[in-house]
């Protein structure tokens, strides 16, 4: 909380908006909370396990003692055969693409219990700094929150429906083989 805005309120609003958008696309979405209730990190991980979730995205806002700190960053844990990093990259890239906000990139951590312990593809996204006047003002805008949610929904969609394939090969190189393979 920064005195005016409580993080948990913005988190819940973004989560409810994302749930609606993803359900429109045919996804089943289960939230760890739908109202202002306390829920421990252990309980959140247990919930994801009990409902047999395929993915977990934890939505947050950042804060810093430095008022100039700004932007969006997405955290991931190195486990998960690279899927955590892939999910974090998609989340970060699509939110930045939709909001045109400063990117703080994807960040590797072992310290965030919920993404470390859940055992499924997971990331934690910091959608802006409540300690930064500009970020906070943007987060108060419904239009901006819509852009964040669109980015999150696009990331989930492309996680399950990738549109790019990268093909690499080693041909020598040679004039005949390279031309023939291409």
pLDDT in tens, 155-169: 999 999 987 666 666
Placement of tokens 């930045």 in the chain: 96
- The predicted model scores a pTM of 0.83
Question: Is 60 exceeded by the pLDDT of residue 74?
Answer: yes
Question: Is 70 exceeded by the pLDDT of residue 60?
Answer: yes
Q: pLDDT class for 2, splitting at 50, 70, 90?
A: very low
Q: Please report how the helices 7-24 and 142-160 are oriented relative to each other, as an axis angle in degrees rounded to 10.
A: 50
State which H helix or E strand residue 93 sits in.
helix 83-99
């Amino acid at each position: 909380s920064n005195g005016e805005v409580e993080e948990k309120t913005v988190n819940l609003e973004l989560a409810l908006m994302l749930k609606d958008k993803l359900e429109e696309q045919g996804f089943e979405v289960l939230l760890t909370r739908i109202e202002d209730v306390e829920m421990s990190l252990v309980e959140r991980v247990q919930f994801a396990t009990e409902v047999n979730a395929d993915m977990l995205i934890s939505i947050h806002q950042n804060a810093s003692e430095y008022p100039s700190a700004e932007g969006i960053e997405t955290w991931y844990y190195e486990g998960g055969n690279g899927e955590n990093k892939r999910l974090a990259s998609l989340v970060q890239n699509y939110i930045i693409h939709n909001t045109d906000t400063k990117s703080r990139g994807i960040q590797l951590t072992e310290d965030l219990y919920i993404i470390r312990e859940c055992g499924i593809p997971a990331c934690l996204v910091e959608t802006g700094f409540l300690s930064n006047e500009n970020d906070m003002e943007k987060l108060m805008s419904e239009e901006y929150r819509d852009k964040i949610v669109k980015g999150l929904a696009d990331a989930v969609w492309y996680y399950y429906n990738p549109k790019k394939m990268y093909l690499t090969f080693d041909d020598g190189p040679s004039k005949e083989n390279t031309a023939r393979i291409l």
